[in-house]
Protein backbone atom coordinates (compact mmCIF):
# COMPACT_ATOMS: atom_id res chain seq x y z
CA UNK A 1 0.00 0.00 0.00
CA UNK A 2 1.24 3.46 -0.80
CA UNK A 3 1.74 5.79 2.13
CA UNK A 4 0.76 9.43 2.08
CA UNK A 5 3.72 11.67 2.38
CA UNK A 6 5.25 15.00 1.62
CA UNK A 7 8.18 14.35 -0.68
CA UNK A 8 11.50 14.51 1.15
CA UNK A 9 12.93 16.50 -1.76
CA UNK A 10 10.00 18.85 -2.21
CA UNK A 11 10.28 22.59 -2.20
CA UNK A 12 8.24 22.78 1.02
CA UNK A 13 10.95 20.77 2.80
CA UNK A 14 13.68 23.09 1.49
CA UNK A 15 12.07 26.44 2.26
CA UNK A 16 13.05 28.24 5.46
CA UNK A 17 10.88 26.93 8.29
CA UNK A 18 7.66 28.87 8.62
CA UNK A 19 7.90 30.07 4.99
CA UNK A 20 4.29 29.48 4.09
CA UNK A 21 1.36 31.85 3.64
CA UNK A 22 0.79 33.65 6.93
CA UNK A 23 3.66 31.92 8.76
CA UNK A 24 3.40 31.52 12.52
CA UNK A 25 1.02 34.47 12.79
CA UNK A 26 -1.62 32.43 10.99
CA UNK A 27 -0.72 29.43 13.17
CA UNK A 28 -1.60 31.55 16.20
CA UNK A 29 -4.92 32.44 14.60
CA UNK A 30 -5.59 28.74 13.92
CA UNK A 31 -4.81 27.72 17.51
CA UNK A 32 -6.91 30.53 18.97
CA UNK A 33 -9.88 29.45 16.85
CA UNK A 34 -9.63 25.90 18.21
CA UNK A 35 -9.81 26.99 21.85
CA UNK A 36 -7.51 24.25 23.15
CA UNK A 37 -7.17 23.82 26.90
CA UNK A 38 -3.69 24.38 28.41
CA UNK A 39 -1.37 21.42 27.77
CA UNK A 40 -3.76 19.86 25.28
CA UNK A 41 -2.15 17.09 23.24
CA UNK A 42 -1.92 18.12 19.59
CA UNK A 43 -0.22 16.71 16.50
CA UNK A 44 1.32 18.70 13.67
CA UNK A 45 1.25 16.68 10.43
CA UNK A 46 3.99 17.55 7.94
CA UNK A 47 5.99 19.31 10.64
CA UNK A 48 9.33 19.57 8.77
CA UNK A 49 12.04 20.62 11.21
CA UNK A 50 9.45 21.38 13.86
CA UNK A 51 9.29 25.18 14.12
CA UNK A 52 5.50 25.03 14.53
CA UNK A 53 5.88 22.26 17.12
CA UNK A 54 8.29 24.47 19.06
CA UNK A 55 5.88 27.40 18.75
CA UNK A 56 2.94 25.32 19.98
CA UNK A 57 4.97 24.21 22.98
CA UNK A 58 6.69 27.46 23.94
CA UNK A 59 4.17 30.13 22.88
CA UNK A 60 0.78 28.40 22.97
CA UNK A 61 1.13 26.25 26.09
CA UNK A 62 0.26 23.00 24.34
CA UNK A 63 1.73 19.49 24.44
CA UNK A 64 2.63 18.91 20.77
CA UNK A 65 4.19 16.15 18.72
CA UNK A 66 5.32 16.64 15.14
CA UNK A 67 4.99 14.05 12.38
CA UNK A 68 6.84 14.04 9.08
CA UNK A 69 8.06 11.47 6.55
CA UNK A 70 11.51 13.06 6.21
CA UNK A 71 13.96 11.71 8.78
CA UNK A 72 16.52 14.28 7.64
CA UNK A 73 14.15 17.15 8.49
CA UNK A 74 13.22 15.59 11.81
CA UNK A 75 16.85 15.08 12.79
CA UNK A 76 17.61 18.69 11.91
CA UNK A 77 14.71 19.72 14.11
CA UNK A 78 15.96 17.66 17.05
CA UNK A 79 19.40 19.22 16.73
CA UNK A 80 17.91 22.69 16.38
CA UNK A 81 15.70 22.58 19.47
CA UNK A 82 16.28 20.13 22.31
CA UNK A 83 13.32 18.27 23.66
CA UNK A 84 11.00 18.52 20.66
CA UNK A 85 8.95 15.38 20.16
CA UNK A 86 9.24 14.62 16.44
CA UNK A 87 8.20 11.29 14.93
CA UNK A 88 8.74 9.82 11.46
CA UNK A 89 5.46 8.56 10.03
CA UNK A 90 3.19 8.81 7.01
CA UNK A 91 -0.09 10.67 7.12
CA UNK A 92 -2.14 7.52 6.59
CA UNK A 93 -0.37 5.55 9.36
CA UNK A 94 -0.13 7.81 12.39
CA UNK A 95 1.59 6.13 15.37
CA UNK A 96 -0.97 7.18 17.99
CA UNK A 97 -3.74 5.36 19.80
CA UNK A 98 -7.32 6.01 18.86
CA UNK A 99 -8.91 8.92 20.71
CA UNK A 100 -5.59 10.10 22.15
CA UNK A 101 -5.15 13.71 20.94
CA UNK A 102 -7.25 16.85 21.25
CA UNK A 103 -6.19 18.45 18.00
CA UNK A 104 -4.45 17.88 14.68
CA UNK A 105 -2.84 20.71 12.70
CA UNK A 106 -2.28 20.36 8.96
CA UNK A 107 -0.63 23.47 7.54
CA UNK A 108 0.13 23.27 3.81
CA UNK A 109 0.18 19.47 4.08
CA UNK A 110 -3.21 17.96 3.17
CA UNK A 111 -3.07 19.18 -0.44
CA UNK A 112 0.25 17.42 -1.04
CA UNK A 113 -0.82 14.06 0.37
CA UNK A 114 -1.33 11.20 -2.08
CA UNK A 115 -4.75 10.35 -0.63
CA UNK A 116 -6.35 13.10 1.44
CA UNK A 117 -9.29 10.88 2.35
CA UNK A 118 -7.11 8.21 3.98
CA UNK A 119 -5.26 10.86 5.94
CA UNK A 120 -8.54 12.31 7.19
CA UNK A 121 -9.60 8.82 8.27
CA UNK A 122 -6.43 8.55 10.37
CA UNK A 123 -6.89 12.01 11.84
CA UNK A 124 -10.47 11.11 12.80
CA UNK A 125 -9.25 7.91 14.44
CA UNK A 126 -6.68 9.56 16.72
CA UNK A 127 -8.85 12.52 17.79
CA UNK A 128 -10.94 12.45 20.94
CA UNK A 129 -14.69 13.01 20.42
CA UNK A 130 -15.04 16.71 19.75
CA UNK A 131 -11.33 16.99 18.90
CA UNK A 132 -10.33 19.65 16.39
CA UNK A 133 -8.96 19.36 12.87
CA UNK A 134 -7.15 22.64 12.12
CA UNK A 135 -6.14 23.31 8.51
CA UNK A 136 -4.52 26.05 6.49
CA UNK A 137 -4.04 25.15 2.83
CA UNK A 138 -4.58 25.93 -0.83
CA UNK A 139 -8.03 25.68 -2.35
CA UNK A 140 -9.66 26.53 -5.68
CA UNK A 141 -11.75 29.69 -5.74
CA UNK A 142 -14.23 28.50 -8.36
CA UNK A 143 -17.86 27.36 -8.36
CA UNK A 144 -18.40 23.66 -7.87
CA UNK A 145 -18.89 22.20 -11.38
CA UNK A 146 -20.19 18.87 -10.10
CA UNK A 147 -23.82 17.83 -9.55
CA UNK A 148 -24.94 17.56 -5.90
CA UNK A 149 -24.63 13.77 -5.78
CA UNK A 150 -21.09 13.64 -7.21
CA UNK A 151 -18.19 12.03 -5.36
CA UNK A 152 -16.75 14.04 -2.50
CA UNK A 153 -13.47 14.78 -4.27
CA UNK A 154 -14.92 15.74 -7.65
CA UNK A 155 -13.62 19.29 -7.35
CA UNK A 156 -10.04 18.04 -7.11
CA UNK A 157 -7.40 19.45 -9.46
CA UNK A 158 -3.73 18.53 -8.96
CA UNK A 159 -4.28 17.74 -5.30
CA UNK A 160 -6.22 20.94 -4.57
CA UNK A 161 -9.97 20.99 -3.84
CA UNK A 162 -12.45 23.78 -4.29
CA UNK A 163 -14.35 24.88 -1.19
CA UNK A 164 -17.39 22.73 -1.89
CA UNK A 165 -15.26 19.65 -2.57
CA UNK A 166 -13.22 20.18 0.58
CA UNK A 167 -16.29 20.58 2.76
CA UNK A 168 -17.96 17.50 1.26
CA UNK A 169 -14.85 15.47 1.94
CA UNK A 170 -14.45 16.46 5.58
CA UNK A 171 -18.17 15.88 6.16
CA UNK A 172 -17.92 12.45 4.50
CA UNK A 173 -15.11 11.66 6.95
CA UNK A 174 -17.35 12.52 9.93
CA UNK A 175 -16.13 16.02 10.71
CA UNK A 176 -18.37 19.00 11.38
CA UNK A 177 -17.20 22.35 10.03
CA UNK A 178 -16.88 25.04 12.70
CA UNK A 179 -15.05 27.79 10.82
CA UNK A 180 -13.96 28.68 7.29
CA UNK A 181 -11.90 31.79 6.52
CA UNK A 182 -10.37 32.98 3.27
CA UNK A 183 -6.78 34.19 3.58
CA UNK A 184 -5.93 34.47 -0.10
CA UNK A 185 -4.24 37.82 0.48
CA UNK A 186 -1.58 35.94 2.46
CA UNK A 187 -1.06 33.56 -0.47
CA UNK A 188 -0.58 36.53 -2.81
CA UNK A 189 1.99 38.01 -0.44
CA UNK A 190 3.79 34.66 -0.23
CA UNK A 191 3.84 34.22 -4.03
CA UNK A 192 5.13 37.75 -4.54
CA UNK A 193 7.92 37.10 -2.06
CA UNK A 194 8.74 33.78 -3.72
CA UNK A 195 9.05 35.42 -7.14
CA UNK A 196 11.32 38.09 -5.66
CA UNK A 197 13.55 35.41 -4.17
CA UNK A 198 13.52 32.82 -6.98
CA UNK A 199 12.65 34.75 -10.14
CA UNK A 200 9.60 32.68 -11.11
CA UNK A 201 7.02 30.18 -9.85
CA UNK A 202 8.41 27.28 -11.88
CA UNK A 203 10.06 25.54 -8.93
CA UNK A 204 7.00 26.02 -6.73
CA UNK A 205 4.73 24.47 -9.40
CA UNK A 206 7.07 21.55 -10.01
CA UNK A 207 6.81 20.25 -6.44
CA UNK A 208 3.02 20.27 -6.23
CA UNK A 209 1.18 16.96 -6.73
CA UNK A 210 0.22 15.97 -10.25
CA UNK A 211 -3.01 14.24 -11.22
CA UNK A 212 -3.25 11.69 -13.99
CA UNK A 213 0.54 11.60 -14.32
CA UNK A 214 0.98 15.22 -15.31
CA UNK A 215 0.71 18.67 -13.82
CA UNK A 216 -2.67 20.29 -14.13
CA UNK A 217 -1.87 23.56 -12.36
CA UNK A 218 -4.89 25.90 -12.40
CA UNK A 219 -4.67 29.51 -13.41
CA UNK A 220 -3.14 31.59 -10.63
CA UNK A 221 -6.34 33.58 -10.25
CA UNK A 222 -8.20 30.39 -9.26
CA UNK A 223 -5.95 29.57 -6.31
CA UNK A 224 -6.92 30.70 -2.84
CA UNK A 225 -5.75 30.01 0.68
CA UNK A 226 -8.06 29.00 3.50
CA UNK A 227 -8.19 28.41 7.21
CA UNK A 228 -10.69 25.87 8.47
CA UNK A 229 -11.50 24.29 11.79
CA UNK A 230 -13.64 21.17 12.01
CA UNK A 231 -14.72 18.99 14.90
CA UNK A 232 -14.73 15.21 15.10
CA UNK A 233 -18.33 14.08 15.20
CA UNK A 234 -19.72 10.80 16.47
CA UNK A 235 -21.15 9.84 13.07
CA UNK A 236 -19.84 6.84 11.21
CA UNK A 237 -17.31 7.54 8.46
CA UNK A 238 -18.82 7.27 4.97
CA UNK A 239 -17.12 4.63 2.82
Domain ranges of the chain: 11-232
CB 81 within 8 A of CB 112: no
pLDDT score at 196: 78
pTM for the complete prediction? 0.82
pLDDT for position 211: 45
With CA atoms as reference, report the closest residue to 158 among 96, 89, 94, 204: 204
pLDDT of amino acid 213 = 39
Res 114: pLDDT: 85
Residues recorded for the chain: 239
pLDDT at 15: 53
- Beta strands at 63-68 and 41-45: parallel, antiparallel or unpaired: parallel
Half-sphere exposure of 69 (CA within 13 A, CB side): 19
In CATH, 11-232 is 3.40.50.150: yes
User: How does pLDDT run across 185-205, given as a tens digit for each residue?
Assistant: 999 888 887 777 766 666 555
The pLDDT value recorded for residue 186 is 94
Mean pLDDT split into 10-residue runs, the chain, 239 residues: 41 55 94 97 95 96 96 92 93 96 95 91 97 95 57 52 94 97 93 74 55 47 91 69
Amino acid sequence: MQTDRISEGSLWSRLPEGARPGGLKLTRRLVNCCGFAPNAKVTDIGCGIGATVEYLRDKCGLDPVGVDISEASLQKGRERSAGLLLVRAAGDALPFAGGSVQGVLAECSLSVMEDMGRVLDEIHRILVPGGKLAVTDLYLREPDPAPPDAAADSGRIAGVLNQAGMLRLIEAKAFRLLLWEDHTVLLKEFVAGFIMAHGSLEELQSCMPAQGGRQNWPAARQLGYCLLVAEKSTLEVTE
